[in-house]
Every structure is written in structure tokens, then in C-alpha cells.
Amino acid sequence: MRASGILLPIASLPSKYGIGSFSKSAYNFIDILKKAGQKYWQILPIGPTGYGDSPYQSFSTFAGNPYFIDLDALVEEGLLTEKECTEYDFGSDSRYIDYEKIYLSRFRILRKAYDRSNISQNVKFLAFQKKNEFWLEDYALYMAIKDYFHEISWTEWEEDINLHKKSAMDSYRRELKNDIGFYEFLQYLFTKQWNSLKDYAHVNGIKIIGDIPIYVAFDSADTWSHPELFQLDAGQNPLAVAGCPPDGFSATGQLWGNPLYLWEKHKATNYDWWISRIEYCFNLYDVLRVDHFKGFDEYYSIPFGDDTAENGHWRKGPGYEFFENIDSRFKEVDIIAEDLGYVTDSVRELLKKTGYPGMKILEFAFDSREESDYLPHNYNKNCVVYTGTHDNDTILGWISAINEEDRAFALAYVNKEKVSEDISWDFIRLAQQSVANLCIIPIQDYLGLGSEARINIPSTLGNNWKWRMLEEDVTEELLTKIKKMTTLYGR
């Protein structure tokens, strides 16, 4: 069935507390989607972020980001006062997130709510603890110890706790009991508020597309609590790390730094850890975008300690057996494969075997030197078309930056003579009218914004994941225009 949706990260929602959250603005955005005739809301990973603020480098693959907890809901519950919420400095620019100020303020205000909650006597909280103990205990302990050691990586902790010795684990659990409770409380709030928002989406006919990063962060509860699942040496340091080889976008490649999986170990356990991960994701989302699908066919292995990705090499991943295992464990899975980047015949074959829809990015289509799979006349129905993703520039920024030959090709394809202020709509139309079953447009392209609204520039640090939408950005006129085009092309 043909459908369309909008890509907007939770962090990019409007909010009076410096970063998007599960607040009234999130519910308003679902209303926006409904009015615009959309059926999907695509978000980015919603785990707790660390250094660099990337949602793809999270402290846990299971935990939720405490920044997204709605403070106004805690005021309504009597755990905070409005005055207390406004006393903190969450940043003064409503268009861009100030992560340093969010970090210094959000946990302090949430700690006040925890101290007043008497949460250990809450029956629903106790049920939440029990249901999620397979990851929650390790995560809360990890975060409490990380605070205790002033945020340093777990590999720099004292050896006894680094290596999970029982005596050390018991000792830290006793000493940090209150801090552990705080982190469990945050996860309870996150889950309760997220489930409420998701229920509201479903009532309004909106499905959520979530994102599962292929890798976990090295400095994470996942790597610390399950080192046997990763390619680590006896000192718990990575033998090799993840990334991408040099290409036309980066002369030295991309050095992500994530630990690589010990796939033989995962296979021996019938991929139990992965199955738990995917099952948890399907509790959070309706549709799952599997990041870096190529890595399940082949993954790029870079020697640990290298400054660039130039000396890496390809190694064989788990292949189709991995997805067979998923299919055998679940009755039905709604998965989108992020099959971007250097796509080989073996990746195409793997995608074909799984039957999952792949991704088509219009910004990748207009290389005047060669025919491209991303050009709409080459699509089949079983795909998801985007103008761009969180890693791309906006359409307006992109069309202004590409070389003259490619720009001429792109303009000719959409029957335009020159770049106009509303050029984004020509490419939105191209995506909407394509045969792709699903069409997802970043909100920035509907708003006609330039490079200042870009979410992420891969392989850079310091200025990513910050852009936010403002309440006044979305007008009734815009919603009418979106719905008209959506209806026109049967989505």
C-alpha cells in the first residue's frame, strides 16, 4: 500500500526546555502528521547520548534518553514545580540545542523529581523493573559507576569492577544504591511517557519508524556487561573497530570507533542478544530501520589505534542466516534495510533474500557521470524513497553546493531551468509520485530550509544533532499543501 511520512528526530521538536521531548509539542506533531495526510513518523535512535551527542553512540542499546522526559508531566504529577523547571539554564537559542547546558541542568532537575517520588513503593515501577531486569540492572549500575568515576570510560575503572568481579559488583550495588535507583526511575519515566505518546500516534493512524544502529558504543553498558560478544583483547580493549573505507565523500574513510561483534559467539547462542535487542525495538516502534545493512553481509574492520580508516579491510558478516533466525523467532517483522553506501552484488542478493525494502535517496541520484539506482525511473515498488536522510544536506543546501554539471542534470530531471526558492518541492514531488511504496520526507525539505537546518555531517564533531523546528514553522497553509500532494499521488 502506498503511504508517506515525515522524518523528524524527537530532539528536534519544539520545547521550552532546550531540547525536544515527549511534551505537548510531540502530541501536536502527531496532529500535524494527521492533518497533512501522513501515515508515518520516522525518528532517530532514542537512546541516552554521550560524547559527541550522536544518537548512534549511546550508553545503552536498550535504555531511553532522559533528555526526552517531559518536565511538564512531572509538574502535573506533583514531583516538580514550574518555578523549579524554569530556574535552570537550558540554552537561549530555540533553534539549536545547547547540549552542555542540557547536560548540566536536566539531570539535576530530574534528581529532584526522583527524591520526591517514593518510587520504590510504586507497584507499576516494580513491575517495570522485573520486566526489564535483563538490561536495566546492568545499565543503571553502569551509569551510577560512571558518575562515581567522573564520567571516564569503563576501561579506565578499577580492575575489579572493570572485569565484573562479583565482590566488586556487590560492593558498588550497596554503595551506589540510591544512584542506581535514580537511573532506573528515569527509564521508568521514559518508557511510561513514550508508550503514552505512541498510543496517541496509533489512535490517530500514525505508525512510528524507529532506528536500530548496527553497532553499540564502546563506552556503553552493552560492551561493559557483555564483553564476550565483541572483538576485545584480554585487557578489554578492541582488537579492531568499525567504520567505512575511503570514498568520494571522504579521502580517509570514516572511523566510527565502535567495537566489532564476535559473530561466531553470537551464532553459537542463536543470536540471543540480537533477538532481545530486536524484540525490544518492536516494543518501541512499529517499523524498524536496520542501520548499515551492508555490515551483516560484510563489515569493515579497522585496526584499533589507527587515526583513519585507510588501513581497514572487509570481513564476512553473518549473512542471511542472521535474518533467517529473526524470521523464525517473530511472526511478522516490518523492517527497512538501510542499504546505502558501497553496495555490492552480495548485498543486493542479501536484500533480495530477506524481502525487506531498501532505501532510495534522491540526493544520491544525480551524478552526471553514471546511471544511478537512485533515479526514480529505476525503482521497483518494494523500496522507501527519501529526498535525504539525517546524514544529508537539505535539498536547498544540496542543490546549491553540487557541481554545475550535476545541478544541470538534476534540474533537467525535474524540468526546471534554474534553482528557485521552492526547489525543494520539485524533488518532494519526484519522491511522492515515484512507484516506491513508502515516501519519507525530512521536515526541513517541506519547510524549504537550507544547510543551516542540517542534522548531521558524517565524520565531523561539534556541530551536529542540534537543529530544532519552531512551533511557528508549520502553518495551516503548509499542511494543506502537503496533504494535497499526498492525496494527488495516492499516498
Tell me which of 138, 179, 338, 445 is the catalytic residue. 338
Dist. CA 169–CA 252, nearest whole Å: 41
Half-sphere exposure of 322 (CA within 13 A, CB side): 22
Dist. CA 239–CA 64, nearest whole Å: 29
438-464 per-residue burial string, b: 16 or more CB within 10 A, e: under 16: bbbbbbbbbbbbbeebbbbeebeeeeb
Single-letter code of the amino acid located at 202: H
Tell me which of 291, 297, 298, 363 is the catalytic residue. 291
Single-letter code of the amino acid located at 190: F
Q: Let me know how long the chain is.
A: 491
Residues facing 441 on adjacent strands: 6
Enter the C-alpha cell of residue 90.
537550558
Give the N- to C-terminal CA distance of the chain in Å, as an integer. 8
Cα–Cα nearest to 257, from 271, 243, 247:
243
- For the CA atoms of 185, 26, 281, 191, what is the dihedral angle to 10 degrees? 20
Cα–Cα nearest to 466, from 100, 63, 84:
100
From start to end of 163-286, where are the E strands?
207-212, 240-244, 254-259
Cα–Cα nearest to 366, from 427, 421, 438:
427
> CA 132, 113, 216 angle in degrees (round to 5)?
40
Residue 291 designated active-site? yes
Residues facing 314 on adjacent strands: 300
Tell me which of 137, 147, 373, 391 is the catalytic residue. 391
Dist. CA 285–CA 28, nearest whole Å: 19
The Cβ of residue 366 has, within 10 Å, a number of other Cβ atoms equal to 23
Contacts of 384 (CB under 8 A, 6+ apart): 336, 357, 358, 359, 360, 436, 437, 438, 439, 440
Single-letter code of the amino acid located at 312: G
Dist. CA 426–CA 336, nearest whole Å: 25
Residues 259 and 320 sit within 8 Å (Cβ to Cβ) = no
> Where in the sequence numbering do the catalytic residues fall?
291, 338, 391
